[in-house]
Structure 1
Amino acid sequence: MKSQEYIDLEEKIGAHNYHPLDVVLSRGEGVWVYDVDGNKYLDCLSSYSALNQGHIHPRILNALIQQAGKLTLTSRAFRNDQLALFYKELSELTGYEMVLPMNSGAEAVETALKVARKWGYVSKQVPRNKAEIIVAEGNFHGRTISIISFSSEPLYKDDFGPHTPGFVSVKFGDTQELEKAITPYTVAVMIEPIQGESGVNIPPAGYIKEVRSLCTKNNVLFIADEIQTGLGRTGKLLATMHDDVRADVVILGKALGGGFYPVSAVLADRSILGLINPGEHGSTFGGNPLAAAVARESLKVLVEEKMIENAAIQGEYFLEQLSEINSPKIKEVRGKGLLIGVEIKEEAGGARKYCEALKNEGILAKETHQQIIRFAPPLIIDRPTIDWALEKIRKVLLDS
């Protein structure tokens, strides 16, 4: 079948909950992907940072194959020989005392919200059913009913009410507004250190430190959603580490599965996660041996192959070179590590047409929030490949 045949079939039968670029991929290796017609592309999206380690990393592939041939699922009704080792290795890497495994990022966010509420009732003594959690405008934490309830994007929520109560939204980057929003009922503040889906929005210098300080001062949990920013994407293991900040709760996903398998986790110390009792929360697939084996190897290759350090070095260069493109179409270039957004001026049209033009040049990127092109290649990308991409990007942004 040719690309258009696949596209026509998908459009006819599949629900239209995505608007993908019209490229039909059939193979990937490292930073490169190939379509069914034989064309080669540089992946500059990394499946929203789920492919930090690159496509089909051989070590992760081998871990998947080896474990798939032995044991794939036990449910949490029984123990398996991979989960405890996953806990140990993730705990030692991040410094958190306990781990709660799930599958998708949204599930992990929901888990963190439940944990924060129980902590509020048991440890902070907030009256039951009165807990409030503060979030930031422009957030993207997932698409469950509760999560879209505190989204500020009408598209995500307007037709899906009634909405879940218990959430207060404040301006991202504004610590004064955050401080005013904290009440005796506040149990947590949950933010993304950098807002990815909202357009690679980077808060003002000192914001993360001040959030940490306000949470400590008011006996409130600081929850860092590092599903997209964590595991090396910004040039540190966790994005909060750029500010030498330790959140009370960290949410991981995406790259935790190395691009092979959905794996997510909530990390916290025993005083928080230790409050969860048997039966209060769970998942049939969460913590399964196949997921644990894949995640263990995914973490090892990130560290042992120095992908995090590479993200810092190559990201600084990529951002610097993009910032020097003197195009009247560009409003702003911003980013950290290999999470970079190029904002297009409204009068220059939406970012979609530039992503389509980049596709024709052999680069796959995706627009977010109409005007922003997000560049987030796998963390294994090297300087010559970035230089090759920059030539194509300059052509599109200067000539389109």
Structure 2
Amino acid sequence: MELFYKIIFYISGFIIIWAMIGYPVSIKMIGKLYKKRKLKKDYSFQPTVTVMVVAHNEEKVILDKLRNIIELNYPKDKIEFLVASDNSTDKTNEIVSQFKSENPDYKVKLYEVKTRKGKTNAQNEAQKTVSTDYLIMTDANSLMERNSVKELMAAFTSVDIAYVSGRLSIVNQNASDVSNAEGSYWDSDMSIREIESRIQTITAGNGALYACRTKDYYDFNPIQSHDSSMPLFYALRGKRAIANHDAIAYEKAGEIVEDEFGRKVRMNRIILKQILPDLKILNIFKYRWFSYFYFGHRTCRYLLWISHLVVLLSNALLIPESLFYSITFTSQVLFYFLALVKIITKSKNKYLTLIYYYCVTVIAQWFGVYNILTGKAKPFWEKAESTR
């Protein structure tokens, strides 16, 4: 049995270390080999576009969002605006309708989803009313930089590029320990995505800002999210999903742990399927770098919840074997203890905050798995008020 414990200890330990240290370091080293490869842009490419905003009870932010998108720097005769209201029961629809009547010079449409089934379903329904060549999707609480549409369109320089993701910029990063940790995570992840994009294709986008060809749109299951599903969908079909981080959307991160924790639980509502959604990903001869990217950036991260449990339990059983296992077990216990210290003392120490934030992320994965196994995973959620 000792051999079995050692095997699962080292495999689980490898997954954790590779996800959090090995892959980020390796991708930066690989990126240096491709440093001469730059993102191509063609600013003369200005097709017709629809900016879609999905909203559910967003009366607090929808007016600011509408004012923001009509100020986008893009030819007025080539841009339309579509609000997909996911069965809103507050004043969202009323505000959009009034804005539409007060701004007749802009092509603003409201699509009302009759039964709330979540963001992806609202996108699926509303997309069928779109007649423009391209579709840009953005969240109701995200404010787009004026040139963001031009930037997204400029990146569609070849037919194999099916998806372009913008950059999410956290505007309240210094508001709290939680938002600071989330901002630090996004800064790190954006740098990884930039390299993946430059080499071949990204493994995930972000809901704040992204674009695709209308004809390439696919009706995903409502339980799925475009953030994780779209880049994977296109990559498996030999197309590219890339990042243009000059296209920027500004958004607030959750300022309290409950808000950010709830968001992460929602993100993990199909985590079991995301670990290895298709065996074809393993075919490195066909998918080349994408196989490596997905394993390191997605598969290993989606396995953190079980890897931490297995490495802790197997380590405990191996303590009698040698001093090494005593040290590794003590280190793990100390790591979790430091997270508790952060909770109890409410310390502002950035290292304690990062440890605590990481533990919250792993626990959120466990909640996601629990919801899946108990049938409680759902395609919609209650928004985090501190992000509005």
Q: Normalized per residue, which structure has more helix?
A: 2
Band of TM-score, shorter chain:
under 0.3
TM-score between both structures, scaled by the size of structure 1: 0.23
TM-score between both structures, scaled by the size of structure 2: 0.24
